[in-house]
Amino acid sequence: MIKEIKSKTALSPSQLPGLDYALNPYIGCGHACIYCYAPSVIHRDEGKWGDVAERKYEVTRRCLELLLMHDFPVCIQTKSSLVLRDMDLLKKFSDTEVGITLTALDDRVRERMEPGASSVEERLHALEELRENGINTWVFLSGRWRL
């Protein structure tokens, strides 16, 4: 179920060092990570946590198009190779970077921890493609897990 809501502002002040603003156009996330705290602290009636439709509605792409009109600095952190879909826009920004989160290098572990996220191979491919296209990239590598 997709429910549209109106927001007073799309950008909110960021608490992360080096980032002035944050933009998250969704309530929820399709990665379904078993370690995520958000579903337990965010109680909303807008639908089941994780019911997002980025592939269909391209909300992130529309946001990037608006940010590009002002050449706003962009830093994306994701677990999805879908970021490659927007490569054409990302290349047009004068200040853009994409970080890929890797929680496990073993895809069997990744599947149990982040069943809705891109595979390890897809994420590494995305990093390679982004870098080859002149996009600054980085990796957020998480800690050790026992399942």
| DSSP-assigned letter for residue 118 | P
List of residues 6+ apart from 16 with CB closer than 8 A: 22
Model pTM?
0.83
| Residue reference for tokens 């891109």 | 118
| DSSP-assigned letter for residue 82 | G
What pLDDT sits at residue 46?
52
The domain locations on the chain are 12-141
**β-sheet bridge partners, residue 99:** 77, 138
**pLDDT tens string 91-118:** 999 999 999 999 989 999 999 999 999 9
In order of 32, 59, 60, the CA distances from 56 in angstroms are 18, 9, 11
State the burial class of residue 100 (Cβ atoms within 10 Å of its Cβ: 0-12, 13-18, 19+).
buried
